[in-house]
Amino acid sequence: MMVMLVTYDVSTASAAGKRRLRMIAKNCLDYGQRVQNSVFELDLDHAKWVECRARLVETMEPEEDSLRFYRLGNQWRERVEHIGTKPSTDLSGGTLLA
């Protein structure tokens, strides 16, 4: 298992862009949790990551939107510091992170 951080910026100037925004968020929610408006943490194996990435790339419009993927790996807890509101769920066990 590995943790991936997915961020995106989708142009919402058109109805099609607003639809893409909703679809990308839904696709991310199918694999992980939202941690900020356009930021998701995904805890998945390599096969699921390949599937998720393909869905996201297929949904986006490369001339108008952008996706960024950060591989945090197995030691992600050592690489993430959270300060402030909106504590997130620990992807491995459901415990709230401070």
pLDDT tens per residue across span 25-83: 999 999 999 999 999 999 999 999 999 999 999 999 999 999 999 998 676 667 677 77
Compute CA distances 96 → 22, 45, 93, whole Å: 26, 22, 9
Compute CA distances 14 → 37, 60, 64, 86, whole Å: 19, 13, 11, 30
Rounded CA gap, 70 and 65, in Å? 17
95 pLDDT tier (thresholds 50, 70, 90):
very low
What residues are paired with 7 via a beta bridge?
39, 68
